[in-house]
Copies of this chain bind each other. A is one copy, B any other.
Amino acid sequence: MAPSEAPSEAPSGTPEFSGWSCPVPLRDHPRVVMGHGGGGAMSAELVENVFAPAFGGPVLAALGDSAVLELGGARLAFSTDSYVVRPLFFPGGSIGDLAVNGTVNDLAMSGARAAYLSCGFILEEGVETAVVDRVARALGAAARAAGVEVATGDTKVVEAGHGDGVYVNTAGIGLVPAGVDIRPQRAVPGDVVIVSGEIGLHGVAIMSVREGLEFGVEIESDCAALGGLVDAMLAVTPDLHVLRDPTRGGLAAALNEIAAAAGVGVRVGERAIPVPPPVANACAVLGLDPMYVANEGKLVAFVPREHAEAVLAAMRAHPLGARAAVIGECVTEHPGMVVARTPLGGTRVVDLPLGEQLPRIC
């Protein structure tokens, strides 16, 4: 790789903004690097150049958090995630909570209420069975809290040095209610952009416990299942356009993916984005932007303007949406691009992150 094409160059360095494109051709990455798992441009590049051509198929091509498909007359959402978070237990949750809530939330982002989960463990030889038990109990409790049943499972064991204690994969299925069609492509200019609460808590919680950093108060992950919140929003109108849970890559990645998928511009006001003081402090110390920090119990919604006020009210009436806020709008200008108004009145482009600021946060 020529030095001038260093992979650390941000996506904004290219003239091309049309979504899943990436400035770093895969041929310049002969080996997988951590950033390929970060949920940003490098992950997208892997999907575009490797997985999509290999698997084909119209469903995968939609690239939402979950696939919506027809089977036996039922309209189902189907999604999977593997969980490799380090450490396994952190303030506000564990890999077991994440494994349920992450997949339940991916289904909820299609408007589906999760019904059944599969659960695959990859255990490392030598991990304490008490640790496995604690993870399993957390997973079971989270499933009961989310109203989803673990229906099928699998366990593999790999030799010491080929895992990291416990990896978990869950896949989930749920029913998509009639008349609901929620996907990134449906964002249209005029849509109001709402975030369900304070951002950055999960990433900062992981960071603080992993790096032994202290920011005055203990910061807890926001890890939670969003099915009930989405149900409350759908009760106002089935015509929600887009829902996305801003996990890896944070709010910035979620907004960029939506802008790219729908070919619209997104304009947000930095001041309108709820950032809790401990997250703001931690980000200031570490030189991070809260918009890029992962969340595990938040969603961003693109809502038709006529329904926005009622949807916002319904969100605020739900415990997981109490701090919901309008943060911006969908515009015709700068299609595929996310622009933020800074507190000083300027504007800046919010890029799709290349990788993840912190690996293995979920």
Which of B56, B84, B127, B129 contacts A158, CB < 8 Å? B84
**Residues of B with C-beta under 8 A to A215:** none
Closest to A72 in B: B74
Which of B50, B83, B149, B154 contacts A81, CB < 8 Å? B154
Stoichiometry, copies per complex: 2
In the bound complex, do residue B32 and residue A125 qualify as a contact, i.e. CB atoms below 8 Å apart? yes
In the bound complex, do residue A120 and residue B152 qualify as a contact, i.e. CB atoms below 8 Å apart? no
- Among A79, A144, A174, which residue has the most Cβ atoms of chain B within 10 A? A79
A286 within 8 A of B: no
In the bound complex, do residue B129 and residue A50 qualify as a contact, i.e. CB atoms below 8 Å apart? yes
Would A118 and B57 be within 8 Å (CB), given that A127-B31, A129-B32, A162-B163 are in contact? no
A71 within 8 A of B: yes
In the bound complex, do residue B80 and residue A152 qualify as a contact, i.e. CB atoms below 8 Å apart? yes
A252 within 8 A of B: no
A276 within 8 A of B: no
Count of chain A residues near B, Cβ 8 A: 84
- Among A79, A127, A158, which residue has the most Cβ atoms of chain B within 10 A? A158
- Nearest Cβ on chain B to A353's Cβ, whole angstroms: 15
A30 within 8 A of B: yes
| A118 CA to B143 CA, complexed, in Å | 20
- Nearest Cβ on chain B to A167's Cβ, whole angstroms: 6
A269 within 8 A of B: no
| A129-167 Cβ-contact flags toward B at 8 Å (1 or 0) | 110110011011001100001111111111101111001
Would A54 and B139 be within 8 Å (CB), given that A129-B26, A173-B78 are in contact? yes
- Nearest Cβ on chain B to A326's Cβ, whole angstroms: 30
26 residue pairs of the A-B complex, CB under 8 angstroms, read A32-B126, A32-B129, A32-B132, A33-B125, A35-B157, A36-B123, A36-B155, A37-B155, A43-B155, A50-B129, A50-B132, A51-B119, A54-B140, A55-B136, A59-B152, A60-B151, A69-B151, A73-B73, A74-B74, A79-B118, A80-B118, A82-B156, A83-B156, A122-B167, A162-B164, A173-B173
18 A-B pairs besides A32-B132, A36-B123 with CB distance below 8 A are A26-B129, A30-B128, A30-B129, A32-B123, A37-B155, A47-B153, A50-B133, A51-B153, A54-B133, A54-B140, A60-B150, A66-B152, A71-B174, A78-B116, A79-B152, A83-B156, A171-B171, A173-B173
